Amino acid sequence: MASLTLNRVAWQMALSAAVATLGVFVFKMIKVRSVFAKLKKQGLPMPPWDYAAGHLMVLPGLLEKFPKGSQQSDAFTLLSYDYKHTDGCFYIDCWPFSSPLLIVTSPEVAMQACSQEHDLPKPAILIPFFAPLAGGPNLFDMNGTEWKRSRALFNPGFSNNVMQECIPHIIEEADVYVALLREHARKGDTFSLDVLTCDYMMDVIGVISINARLHSMTTHNPLAAAMRSSIQWHCQDEELNPFVRWNPMRPLVEWYNGRTMDRYVFAELDKRYEDWKNNEPATRAKSVMDIAIAAYMGERKASPKLDAEFKKWASAQIRLFLFAGHDSTAATIVYSLHMLSKHPEALEKIRAEHDDVFGGDVDSAAQVLKEHPEYINKLPYTTAVIKETLRLFAPASGMRGGKPGVFLRDKNGNKFPTEGIYIWIVHGAIQRNPEYWPEPHSFLPERWLVEPGHPLYPPKGGWRPFEYGPRNCLGQTLAMLDIKLTLAMIVREFDVQDQYAEWDRLHPSSGVKTVFGERAYQVAQGAAHPVHGFPCKVFSRKKSS
């Protein structure tokens, strides 16, 4: 009898929970659909919509035009071409997979969304994205006074002077990267350039951020391994498979990785704090972490140990730098090499520029830059190649939260209300918008060398890989330095050849295999990376006599 009573109670509780869950689901659906019903009634731009499914029925047909696993933003880039009368901007309802969205593909509208005038916040939707990577509130998802204080503490660590002083450390890691490329060239094997380059940039950002050599290119490092694991397990909004999206193992893996990263960073913080105490007040800043500790301790009296709250805050920022500083930069290096391999005329020009600046042999750049680090600023064509690569292969996009009474306006006079809406600034779409960029899908480094008034001259606010406005990327100087230095050390010594034909032979499949004609299309893996890790071979060029 008691058993029957317990079973009845259990069933009643389960039924109540199910009804409550269904009630919450229906309430949220009605709330979101009501927003879109109002937008539709106002005649605002959006694909065909209905109350039951929103725009979910539109996506399957759109995604069929792209390879499985490609970025959802590429589909929205294509969809934006249907809304030229609104400068490419439109609303999307993909609930329950995402919040209500205003897709922005116009430079002018994007600048408004990121301006100080509207002061639109980073939305809460970013918090779960960065939580497993940073482990807490960080410079990317903070707002208001908290963000301003954190940014001010780290700004000095990313100044031009500090970054230039980092060149010898970057070269030290680049030497290992070059040695590994030489070994691949000697063996003639096919390997993932993206994986190797991610390890390389992780080692670079480790030195810059925490003044520690991670050696992740050649051995196991717990910090680097935990970060890469969290990125590989990461689930993004475009993942529609519920078994992948809600894999019960993910929270356990992310918790373990987060604990590993925090333990490592806490230990490094303690080391750097001891160094600060022993050398204060004339501390020689050796890393971003050193500068943050010095700035923080400048506001209080020294104590035997670092404050636990500061360590937790600092760990989140350092983990963010480790993620953002290596992930997108590595992908850009790979894509730069890929574009140069596909465009021999550009490869010839960049090699000629390096011959002029660094002279000597094909491997002379490292020694020259050690003696004259300022020479890294004498590479206009190299910079143009990088900027054009970033235009075609934007590593990420921007996101802002709407506000009551805030309307964004396009060049045609259309007004877009933002209340209750997340604003998705799709960098790839903006940077390939044919209304602003002649030959938008072509690789033309000359865009960045022409004078204002030339047809190819880039539109204001149209190039946004580091975002635009007061919340632009803190580490953009370091990223550009890393990429320029890496190209300077390898483009004269190696030829890179993708092996996608071999990959397709070994992994036969049907369906679409390119995005905008590119086989090495981007997939979401933290930042956007080349699909399949960019399988390739490298070949050594003969040294100059």
Q: What is the DSSP string of 19-69?
A: HHHHHHHHHHHHHHHHHHHHHHHTT---SS-BTTTBTTTHHHHHHTTS-TT
Can you list the pairs that 179-182 forms with residues at least 24 positions away whose Cβ atoms lie under 8 Å? 180/217, 180/218, 181/490, 181/493, 181/494, 181/538, 182/540
Domain chopping of the chain, boundaries: 39-540
Give tens-digit pLDDT for 144-184. Answer: 999 998 888 888 878 888 888 889 999 999 999 999 999 99
- What's the confidence (pLDDT) of residue 274? 86
> What would the pLDDT profile of 398-445 be if each residue is shown by its tens digit?
999 999 999 999 999 999 999 999 999 999 999 999 999 999 999 999
- Cα separation, 168 vs 172, in Å, equals 6
pLDDT band at 242 (very low <50, low <70, confident <90, very high): low
Report the pLDDT value the prediction gives residue 284, as an integer from 0 to 100.
Answer: 47
Vertex 487: Cα angle to 159 and 389 (nearest 5): 85
Count of C-beta atoms within a 10 Å radius of residue 84: 12
| Spatial CA neighbour of 236 closest among 250, 221, 226 | 250
Q: What is the pLDDT of residue 9?
A: 67
- For residue 79, name the pLDDT band (cuts at 50, 70, 90): very high
pLDDT for the residue numbered 492: 97
Find all residues with CB under 8 Å of 359, minimum gap 6, and list them: 368
> Which residue in this structure is represented by tokens 């259309």?
414
Q: What are phi and psi of 536, to 5 degrees?
A: -155, 170
Output the CA–CA distances (angstroms, integers) from residue 433 to 117, 174, 462, in the order listed: 25, 35, 9
pLDDT confidence of residue 18:
74
Is the Cβ–Cβ distance between 457 and 436 less than 8 Å?
no
Taking alpha carbons only, the member of 395, 415, 397 closest to residue 406 is: 415
Quote the CA–CA distance of 431 and 458 in Å, as a whole number: 9
pLDDT at 465 over 50: yes
What are the residues whose beta carbons fall under 8 Å from the beta carbon of 522, sequence distance 6 or more? 70, 71, 74, 331, 393, 428, 515, 528, 529, 530, 531
Instruction: Output the known binding site.
Output: 473
Model confidence at 302: pLDDT above 80? no
pLDDT tens-digit readout, 105-115: 999 999 999 98
pLDDT at residue 523 greater than cutoff 50: yes
Could you tell me which residues are annotated as the binding site for heme?
A: 473
Residue bearing tokens 């104590």? 303
- Distance CA(30)–CA(28), nearest Å, equals 5
Pick the CATH number of 39-540 from 3.30.70.270, 3.40.50.970, 1.10.287.3510, 1.10.630.10: 1.10.630.10
User: How many CB atoms lie under 10 A from the CB of residue 134?
Assistant: 26
Quick check: bond before 459 cis, omega within 30? no
Question: What percentage of the chain carries pLDDT values higher than 70?
Answer: 94
Residue 334 CB burial class (10 angstroms; 0-12, 13-18, ≥19): buried
Using CA atoms, how far residue 493 sits from 21, 179, 222, 482, in Å, is 61, 11, 32, 18
Tokens of 250: 């993910």
DSSP 400: E
> Would residue 97 be called left, alpha or beta, if left means φ above 0 and alpha means ψ between -120 and 50 degrees?
alpha
What secondary structure does DSSP assign to 465-489, as a single string? TT--STT--TTHHHHHHHHHHHHHH
Q: How many CB atoms lie within 10 A of CB 1?
A: 5
Say if residue 545's pLDDT is above 50: no
| Residue 307 structure tokens | 């404050």
What is d(CA 160, CA 478) in angstroms, rounded to the nearest whole number?
Answer: 8
Tokens at 294, concatenated: 């010095």
The pLDDT value given to residue 175: 97
Examine the pLDDT at 193 and tell me if it is beyond 80: yes
What would the mean pLDDT of 377-384 be, rounded to a whole number?
98
Lowest mean pLDDT among 94-98, 217-221, 292-296, 306-310: 292-296
Q: Looking at per-residue confidence, does 387 or 294 come out higher?
A: 387
